[in-house]
Amino acid sequence: MKALLPSGLLLLLGLLAPLTATPYTESLTGINFPDELSGMLLTKITDYEAQNPGGGTGISYRAPNAKADFYIYNGGLKNIPSNLDSPPISQHFQAVVDAIPKLLGQPENQLKILQPREEIRIGQLAFLHTALSYQLNDEGKITHVYLTSLNHQFLKIRFTCINSSLQVNDRILQDFLQGSAKLWPSP
């Protein structure tokens, strides 16, 4: 019986371990991703580069009513300018937005644009941004997409929350953006 207790405890700890990830520093941008960000837990770090050169890394945070995914990649480009109006960033942002219906498995006419393309700041970084609402599995959802360049890498953020109320969603989003603004390395 005593021999089973440590094994059972190890098994339990092994089952719980995948629920959270340890803090992670992305080497190309210097962004330090903590294990918790504005009430959301770091749950997964995905190396897309190994499967798809230029695919980079994905960093995922989850909470019961929201999820956030950071993607850092170059898409095979060697020099991504920092100017948001530059063709690589502007065209890539449009391609990202155009791919959302397929990614969500939604017909394009089922998505409602809440915020057309705009430029916003999250802390010291300027981003292109759009927001969309849609239904998925009988739940209303709002997704925000942000794109910028940092150290010649694309930095894309996709933030989604359940459309319980716009006021609640806005508070969750603002908390997330305030927390994210603290992640960027100093210039």
* CATH, residue 162: 3.40.1000
Q: Is residue 150 part of a domain?
A: yes
Q: Is residue 186 part of a domain?
A: no
Query: Per-residue pLDDT tens for 106-118?
Result: 777 678 888 999 9
For residues 73 and 79, give the distance between their C-alpha atoms in angstroms, rounded to a whole number.
12
Q: Output the pTM of the full model.
A: 0.86
Both tokens assigned to 127? 């981003």
Q: Is residue 172 part of a domain?
A: yes
| Percent with pLDDT over 90 in the chain | 63
Query: Per-residue pLDDT tens for 159-184?
Result: 998 866 667 788 889 999 999 999 99
Q: Is residue 57 part of a domain?
A: yes
Q: Is residue 92 part of a domain?
A: yes
Q: Is residue 17 part of a domain?
A: no
Count of structural domains within the chain: 1
How much is the pLDDT for 135?
Answer: 79
How much is the pLDDT for 111?
Answer: 85
In which band, very low, low, confident or very high, does the pLDDT at 65 lie, cut at 50, 70 and 90? Answer: confident
126-164 as b/e: b if 16+ CB within 10 A: bbbbbbbbbeeeeeebbbbbbbbbbbebbbbbbbbbbbe
Range of the domain at 27: 23-181
In which band, very low, low, confident or very high, does the pLDDT at 155 lie, cut at 50, 70 and 90? Answer: very high
Task: Give the residue, 9 or 40, on which the prediction is more confident.
Answer: 40
In which band, very low, low, confident or very high, does the pLDDT at 77 lie, cut at 50, 70 and 90? Answer: very high
Q: Is residue 18 part of a domain?
A: no
| 3-class DSSP assignment, residue 139 | strand
Measured in degrees and rounded to the nearest 5, phi and psi for residue 58 equal -115, 135
How much is the pLDDT for 159?
Answer: 95
How much is the pLDDT for 133?
Answer: 87
Q: Is residue 122 part of a domain?
A: yes
